[in-house]
């Protein structure tokens, strides 16, 4: 049994902090858990913190993108925070630009982005 990544709720936002390197199965579990929690809590924002993540392969990269897309379908803006330079370079080399996923340098900035996200979304629409 692979360990589950906790999904924490802070006010209107769900926080997913990934602390270990991801296995394929745990990413798939995370996707299911997160979708269920968004519906359950009616959260309007999701922050995925990958500060501790040192290794990302193409599968995990793609799953992060689909997770963000799923959250958006459920009306929760997703922000990916704390990506390490090495991880960013790897993803670019893999040809994954995670289009449509919002990113921020740190958890704090990610939360600030979500707090001020509504006007931006209004702009886009």
Q: Which residues bind other proteins (CB under 8 A)?
A: 79-81, 83-89, 91-93, 97-98, 102-106, 109-110, 112-113, 116
Q: Phi and psi (nearest 5°) for 31?
A: -60, -45
* Residue 37 or 67 with smaller CB distance to other proteins: 67
Which is closer to other proteins, CB of 74 or CB of 87? 87
- Distance separating alpha carbons of residues 27 and 122, to the nearest angstrom: 31
Select 33 or 61, whichever has its Cβ closest to other proteins.
Answer: 61
**Shortest CA distance to 71 belongs to which of 14, 27, 111, 4?**
14
CB of 90 to other proteins, least distance (A): 9
Q: How far is the CB of 116 from other proteins (least distance, A)?
A: 7
Helix segments in 1-125, DSSP class H: 24-41, 58-73, 85-93, 107-115, 117-124
Half-sphere exposure of 22 (CA within 13 A, CB side): 27
Q: How far is the CB of 78 from other proteins (least distance, A)?
A: 12
Q: How far is the CB of 49 from other proteins (least distance, A)?
A: 11
């Amino acid at each position: 049994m692979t360990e589950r990544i906790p999904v924490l709720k802070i006010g209107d936002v769900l926080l997913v902090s990934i602390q270990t390197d991801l296995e394929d199965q745990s990413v798939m579990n995370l996707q299911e858990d997160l979708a269920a929690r968004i519906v359950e809590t009616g959260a309007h924002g999701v922050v995925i913190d990958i500060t501790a993540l040192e290794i990302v392969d193409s599968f995990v990269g793609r799953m992060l993108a689909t997770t963000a897309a799923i959250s958006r379908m459920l009306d929760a803006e997703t922000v990916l925070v704390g990506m390490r330079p090495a991880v960013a370079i790897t993803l670019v080399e893999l040809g994954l630009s995670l289009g449509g996923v919002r990113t921020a340098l740190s958890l704090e900035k990610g939360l600030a982005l979500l707090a001020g996200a509504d006007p931006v979304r209004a702009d886009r629409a």
